[in-house]
Amino acid sequence: MNTESSDTPSAPRNRRFLPAGLSLLFLTKLLAVIVAAGMAYATLQQTNDAAMAGSRALEIQRAALAVVADVTDAETGQRGYLLTGEEQYLEPYARARTALQRDIANLRDLVRDRPASLARIERLAEMSNQKVGELAETIELRRGGNADAALAIVRTDRGKNMMDAIRAELDLILRNQTTNFQRSQDSWQSGARQAFLVTLGSALLLLILIAVGATLMSRDYRAREAQMWMRSGQNGLGRRLQGEQRLDSLAENALQFLAAYLDVQVGALYVQEPDGRFRRQAEYAVSAEQRDVLLRPGDGLLGQAARERRVLHVTDVPAGYLRIASATGAAAPTELLILPAAIDGSVQAVIELGFLRRIGAHERQLLELVSEQLAVALRSAKDRSRLEELLEETQRQSEELQTQQEELRVANEELEEHGKILASSKMQLLPAA
């Protein structure tokens, strides 16, 4: 047989707007959102910087290729003019010279904040201008009628070497920007992975916090519901105990209410007699053979609970200890709650309740909360009963005294009558003497 004891719980305290656990959880959620937002912003900023760097590298490559294309177009126009002497072949040359300065200026703007790249661009611009200058020189010679001198300049390696140097510098620029683009791509992919991990981690963290919050809110809701349920039980029992009731009526009302409110299958209420024993004063679904029980403190579980002044929770009920009676049969409860109702250190009664289910903690707490309330009502009822008995005894003694006084009056009247008879007899005897 297993028994458990419990101490009387403290009265419910006024709650704050949010319980401590929910307040801490709310702050944790807020901090997690702030951290996740900060990390997400940093990751997005990194991704954006990487995308801008990659776009800039591509623009520099296109601008550098445009510069070299301008030089190539100018050279093409120059060769057509040298071969034919027709001005229409100089149109590509003229357009290329104008576009070259624009493209060089654009290229400088793109690398203005990069000294190393700017130095390469300046070398490319210088070599391109030199090449265009060499083309202009041959065109002027051809216009002046000195075609052989112009072709002689073309046949030298000066122009070729310039173009080779321009292409070599372009290759360095392109490779450098390709490296920059690859770095930006790597950074972008890293940022994307970090963004994914941050988003995933934030979602998992928030999901966990939401689950914890739901658990805490559910637990708090159940606690509030249990408190409301216990408060309602206290109020309901208080209404059943109101008024000047006889002890048997009060005990019956209390047991009936607790049995209905707690869904009890069997129960009994024992009230302490003046000699210290406990007599069953009320019962609920108790079999006939178990009635009219009189117990002493320490006898059985009920007497032990009264002696120790503590709640006993019995989870392994002995066979035949307390049976549930009905019109069709009987059964034994699976769990018991035995509660002494005490006030000022004196046990006024003991309640024994049997259940066909597991007993919850809030049900035990309710019984512990109403024990003193019930003890006060039972003590008052017993005091009223003793007072009524004293009044009845006093009234009986008063009636007996009145009867005795009446008998004494009658006796006195009889004595007076006898005295009168004796006096009369004495007067009759005197003349005869």
pLDDT at res. 174:
77
Residues 187-216: what's their mean pLDDT? 77
Q: 264 pLDDT exceeds 70?
A: yes
124-142 burial, b if ≥16 CB within 10 A, otherwise e?
bbebbeebbebbeebbebb
Q: Any idea where the domains of the chain sit in the sequence?
A: 20-213, 244-389
**pLDDT tens-digit series, residues 162-178:** 878 888 877 777 787 77
The class that CATH gives domain 244-389 is alpha beta
66-79 burial, b if ≥16 CB within 10 A, otherwise e?
bbbebbbbbbebbb
Question: What contacts 160, CB < 8 A, 6 or more positions away?
Answer: none
CA–CA distance, 322 with 330 (Å, rounded to integer)? 10
Residues 72-93: what's their mean pLDDT? 81
C-alpha distances out from residue 391 to 162, 279, 360, 395, Å: 137, 24, 46, 6
Residues 388-410: what's their mean pLDDT? 84
Q: 210 pLDDT exceeds 60?
A: yes
Q: 346 pLDDT exceeds 70?
A: yes
**pLDDT tens-digit series, residues 300-312:** 777 788 888 888 8
SS (H, E, C) the chain: CCEECCCCCCCCCCCCCCCHHHHHHHHHHHHHHHHHHHHHHHHHHHHHHHHHHHHHHHHHHHHHHHHHHHHHHHHHHHHHHHHHCCHHHHHHHHHHHHHHHHHHHHHHHHCCCCHHHHHHHHHHHHHHHHHHHHHHHHHHHHHCCCHHHHHHHHHCCHHHHHHHHHHHHHHHHHHHHHHHHHHHHHHHHHHHHHHHHHHHHHHHHHHHHHHHHHHHHHHHHHHHHHHHHHHHHHHHHHHHCCCCCCHHHHHHHHHHHHHHHHCCCEEEEEEECCCCCEEEEEEECECHHHCCCEECCCCHHHHHHHHHCCCEEECCCCCCCCCEECCCCEECCCEEEEEEEEECCEEEEEEEEEECCCCCHHHHHHHHHHHHHHHHHHHHHHHHHHHHHHHHHHHHHHHHHHHHHHHHHHHHHHHHHHHHHHHHHHHHHHHHC
Residues 66-75: what's their mean pLDDT? 82
Residues 13-21: what's their mean pLDDT? 51
pLDDT at res. 5:
45
Q: What is the mean pLDDT of the chain?
A: 77
Q: 16 pLDDT exceeds 50?
A: no
Q: 329 pLDDT exceeds 60?
A: no
Query: 205 is written with which tokens?
Result: 């963290």
C-alpha distances out from residue 312 to 9, 196, 268, Å: 15, 57, 15
Sign of the dihedral defined by the CA atoms of residues 35, 36, 38, 43, in that order? positive
Fold classified for 20-213 = Four Helix Bundle (Hemerythrin (Met), subunit A) (1.20.120)
